[in-house]
Amino acid sequence: MVDLPLGRPAMVLVSGSLALLLSLACPWWLQLDGLPPNWLVLWLLPWAVVEGSLAGALAGLVLGSLHDSLQTSGLTAVPALVLLGLWWGRFDSARRPLERSTTLGLLAILGSLGVNLGYALQLQGGGPLPVLHITLAQSLLTGLLAPPVCSLFVLIWRRRSTRHAR
């Protein structure tokens, strides 16, 4: 399953596009109380962990910018994703322990909390929006999906990485 017949650039393009498209419309069975998981976090985490801080921050910038262009509001995910990319990129030297489900799940929950906190700060507390509800539901779902999704992508990116070539 890991040996998909796609090169690294094509795989980056396809999986990144899929993360953005899933942000547009997520199947109902992958939603919690109408809220989808944070697909950007689920894509960025394995990428940054394998490729390092700089690649993680750049991916956060690109992915966040593209995601922002799909919104009507002026909210941006770029600062949070860039910081998460930088942070997760620092784990690239400790690759083995990160394959444990709990670690990836915990990092994804913290990442989703960070992105939602960024939105809440931009809205100066969220106004009348149920910020806590949105943040908790999305973070929980992201954390639950992270172990299978991120583990798979960690393996995929490592097979294709120029930094961890076998």
Q: How far apart are CA 11 and CA 17, in angstroms?
A: 10
- Output the smallest distance, CB 159 to other proteins, in A: 22
Shortest Cβ 150–other proteins spacing (Å): 22
Q: Say how far apart CA 15 and CA 165 lie, in whole Å.
A: 20
**Residue 30 CB, nearest distance to other proteins (Å)?**
13
Of the pair 2, 10, the CB lying nearest other proteins is at: 10
Q: Which two tokens stand for residue 4?
A: 């998909």
Give the residue with the Cβ less far from other proteins, 71 or 101: 71
Residue (78 or 83) nearer to other proteins, CB: 78
Residues found near other proteins in the complex (CB under 8 A)? 17, 20-21, 24-25, 33-35, 62, 65-66, 68-73, 75, 116, 119, 123, 126-130, 134, 138
The span from the CA of 127 to the CA of 48, in Å, is 33
Nearest distance, CB of residue 40 and other proteins, angstroms? 13
Which C-beta is closer to other proteins: that of 62 or that of 144? 62
- 115 burial level (CB within 10 Å; 0-12, 13-18, 19+): buried
- Cβ at position 158, least distance to other proteins in Å: 23
- Please write down the HEC assignment for all residues of 94-147: CHHHHCCHHHHHHHHHHHHHHHHHHHHHHCCCCCCCCHHHHHHHHHHHHHHHHH
50, 10 contact by CB (below 8 A): no
Q: Check: CB of residue 19 under 8 Å from CB of residue 42.
A: yes
Minimum CB distance to other proteins smaller for 34 or for 97: 34
